[in-house]
Structure 1
Amino acid sequence: MAVTEAESRAMTRALALAANGPRGVNPQVGAVILSPDGDVLAEGWHRGSGTPHAEVAALSALAPGAARGATAVVTLEPCNHTGRTGPCALALIEAGVARVIYALDDPGEVSGGGADRLRAAGVSVESGEQAEAAHALIGDWLTAQRLGRPHITVKWAQSIDGRAAADDGTSQWITGPASRADVHRRRAAADAIAVGTGTVLADDPALTARDGDGLHAHQPVPVVIGSRATPADAAVRRHPHDPLFYDTRDLRAVVADLHSRGVQSLFVEGGPTLASAFVAAGLADRVLAYIAPVLLGGSRLALTDIGVSSIDGAVRLDVEEWLPLGPDLLAIAHPAPAASAHDEGAV
């Protein structure tokens, strides 16, 4: 049965509702309950871990029996497991819902399977409505579910000859204002931003996402990785969020812990040592290389040892986009499948 115009409008509304929910361990999900005539009966969205899921939030706004014969329009396949809350598929069945339309399948081994349960109970189910828009909303969460860690972007700025700084260590500013503004927009889109202790000690970064003279509404959680102590008066300690400190070189342990905290996307902006470590570990899902038309020469390379000893071992990249930013050029790329097939940590 084709999706009706009223059901499609309801999905657009459900996606808008989903965006009200917090990013974290659980996905952002919205739901709209329609009468058999296509009128909106109730709406709901997931408000965070431990709270009712979107479908149950919408159903709870209705009187008992009011959802019988109704259609539930949901941005994610109704779950099929009992966690802090019960299975939404069962709640819809018990409410008498006759039809369910959802955008994306639930990727969870435990939580998935809600559509099959609904069909087995005689409920009409349609999937894929506005899937692209739903993926744009929770794509990072889906990636985190698949990998068991956040989606990781590794960023650096370099001269056209591949240097991150002059030989005396100075690096401000290799790139121009347009590139720096682009970096801050991308910081604001991430859940967390990571640097090494060497960067903290050398540059004292605030790790905020700035918008002109102010701050973006959303700020990434600052993450500092390394064994050296961060000074008590460091700028990162004045960040709007409490910094997370990891006294370890085990990057997989770091990203696993961040995942457990609900971090879906990590923006790595440390110096060459940290960037190289993430690339070498196969933990770079995306690379952002800001290239400035300057020559520096010397030994301060943007990347150091990434475990490549010969050309056969090169980390090949697929370029998604070459983006001009004033006089600079941004390369947006991800590891090519053939180069990373041996490594589950790369996409």
Structure 2
Amino acid sequence: MTATDRERDAMRRALALAVRGPRGVNPQVGAVLLSPDGTVLAEGWHRGAGTDHAEVDALRKLAPGAARGATAVVTLEPCNHTGRTGPCAAALIAAGVARVVYAVADPGEASSGGAARLAAAGVEVEAGVLSDEGRALLDSWLTVQRLGRPHVTVKWAQSLDGRAAAADGTSQWITGPAAREDVHRRRAGADAIVVGTGTLLADDPALTARRPDGTLYEHQPMPVVLGARWIPDDARVRQHPRPVLHRDGSRLFDEWGDPDGSLLAELRGLGVHRVFIEGGPTIASAFLRAGLADELLVYVAPTLIGGPRLALGELGVADITQQHRLDVASIERLGDDLLIVATPHAVRNEPQEGTR
């Protein structure tokens, strides 16, 4: 049996509920309980570590026995382990739920298996409903579970001829107000923002996430500066509401051989799940060359600059067979500019291990 229209509508509602929960160590999950005739009985979402998971949150809003024969629509496969809370699969079985519909499989080695447990108890299970939307919601969390490091977004702005700055190094502003507003909104969704000292000394960025009126978003990414050069005492980043993390960058990509010594491992240890790279051509190229970019945001302005200041540097491509192929997720017009969102062709958010 495939998902019904009402179940798909309920999944869209569950996705909207999920984002009410905090982004962090635990996934954002939403749930909707439907009666056999498709009426919404209850809704729930996960409010953070140690609190009820979305399914249990919804069940607690019903009288005992009221969920018997119901359908549970959940953004993530019900878990199958006991952590700070009990297994959601067991709670759904005990409540008498007849059918479970979910978007994304739980990647956890310990917490997965909820679907199999439900099926063994006679509960009908439908997987993969609105899976693309579910994975988009959980992208950074899935990356952490799959790769053991934060999700990395590499952003740059360029002219139509691929330049990031004029010959003298100036780069403010290639793109227009709409593109800059979009960048700040995305910064506000990140846990850390990374630049190199070259960009910091040339542009003196504040590295804050600001609204169009200049006020700060409630959530501010941790400013991270890479490079051996000293950050001037009067640099704008020194006024950031969060302390600056300054590293020389020498251990930037050691995680494959020395996981505990790398920058990304350090950031994950600090609770960072989403890293936003704005560091100029040197830093952006380094992350791409190392295969550490999960998402690319390329803002293209309808202007020509020429000269030597390319948006990207050396990527280790010796011949055309080594080119970095991309999957374009979207192309959006922002004022006069274009935003291209892409992912490296080999990146797939289908993790093999993790916890919930």
TM-score (norm 2): 0.79
Question: Which residue does the alignment assign to 2:256?
Answer: none
| 1-structure distance, mates of 2:293, 2:271 | 19
Q: How much has 1:234 moved relative to structure 2?
A: 3.7
Which of 1 and 2 has higher RCO (CA within 8 Å, sep 6+)?
2
Shift in CA distance, 4/301, structure 1 to aligned 2, threshold 3 Å: closer
Which of 267, 289, 304 is the matching residue for 1:294? 304
Q: How much has 1:153 moved relative to structure 2?
A: 2.3
| 2-structure distance, mates of 1:228, 1:261 | 24
SS in 2 for 1:214: coil
Shift in CA distance, 119/206, structure 1 to aligned 2, threshold 3 Å: same
| 1-structure distance, mates of 2:211, 2:19 | 22
Which of 334, 344, 347 is the matching residue for 1:335? 344
| 2-structure distance, mates of 1:128, 1:336 | 21
Question: Which residue does the alignment assign to 2:208?
Answer: 208
For 1:85, the aligned partner's letter is: T
| 2-structure distance, mates of 1:61, 1:83 | 22
Which of 282, 285, 294 is the matching residue for 2:294? 285
Deviates more, 1:152-161 or 1:72-81: 152-161
TM-superposition CA deviations, 1:26-46 (whole Å, max 9, x none): 111112334455554433210
Residue 223 of structure 2 contacts residue 242 of structure 2 at CA under 8 Å; is this kept in 1? no
Question: Which residue does the alignment assign to 1:22?
Answer: 22
Question: Which residue does the alignment assign to 2:171?
Answer: 171
Question: Which residue does the alignment assign to 2:250?
Answer: 249
| 1-structure distance, mates of 2:79, 2:29 | 11
Kindly, what percent of the aligned residue pairs are identical? 65
| 2-structure distance, mates of 1:76, 1:5 | 19
| 2-structure distance, mates of 1:232, 1:65 | 64
Alignment of 1:199-278 (within 5 A): 199-215=199-215, 217=217, 219-226=219-226, 227-231=228-232, 233-252=234-253, 253-261=262-270, 263-278=272-287
Residue 152 of structure 1 contacts residue 283 of structure 1 at CA under 8 Å; is this kept in 2? yes
Alignment of 1:3-42 (within 5 A): 3=3, 7-36=7-36, 38-42=38-42
SS in 2 for 1:170: coil
SS in 2 for 1:210: coil
For 1:251, the aligned partner's letter is: L
Moved segments of 4+, more than 6 Å: none
Question: Which residue does the alignment assign to 1:315?
Answer: 324
Deviates more, 1:321-330 or 1:20-29: 321-330
Deviates more, 1:239-248 or 1:52-61: 239-248
| 2-structure distance, mates of 1:330, 1:100 | 38
Question: Which residue does the alignment assign to 1:75?
Answer: 75
Alignment pair present for 1:114 and 2:119: no
| 2-structure distance, mates of 1:223, 1:211 | 18
Deviates more, 1:315-324 or 1:139-148: 315-324
Shift in CA distance, 120/181, structure 1 to aligned 2, threshold 3 Å: same
| 1-structure distance, mates of 2:340, 2:172 | 20
For 1:235, the aligned partner's letter is: R
RMSD: 3.3
Residue 149 of structure 1 contacts residue 264 of structure 1 at CA under 8 Å; is this kept in 2? yes
For 1:147, the aligned partner's letter is: L
Shift in CA distance, 67/161, structure 1 to aligned 2, threshold 3 Å: closer
For 1:16, the aligned partner's letter is: A
Q: How much has 1:208 moved relative to structure 2?
A: 2.2
Q: How much has 1:240 moved relative to structure 2?
A: 4.5
| 2-structure distance, mates of 1:277, 1:93 | 49
Q: How much has 1:3 moved relative to structure 2?
A: 4.4
SS in 2 for 1:273: helix
| 2-structure distance, mates of 1:37, 1:333 | 41
Q: Which runs of 5+ in 1 are unaligned?
A: 342-347
For 2:252, the aligned partner's letter is: L
Q: Which runs of 5+ in 2 are unaligned?
A: 254-261, 349-356
Shift in CA distance, 162/85, structure 1 to aligned 2, threshold 3 Å: same
| 1-structure distance, mates of 2:324, 2:45 | 42
| 1-structure distance, mates of 2:339, 2:130 | 31
Shift in CA distance, 56/229, structure 1 to aligned 2, threshold 3 Å: farther
| 2-structure distance, mates of 1:103, 1:143 | 17
| 2-structure distance, mates of 1:74, 1:323 | 30
For 2:117, the aligned partner's letter is: R
Shift in CA distance, 90/228, structure 1 to aligned 2, threshold 3 Å: farther
Residue 282 of structure 2 contacts residue 312 of structure 2 at CA under 8 Å; is this kept in 1? yes
Question: Which residue does the alignment assign to 1:344?
Answer: none
Deviates more, 1:314-323 or 1:45-54: 314-323
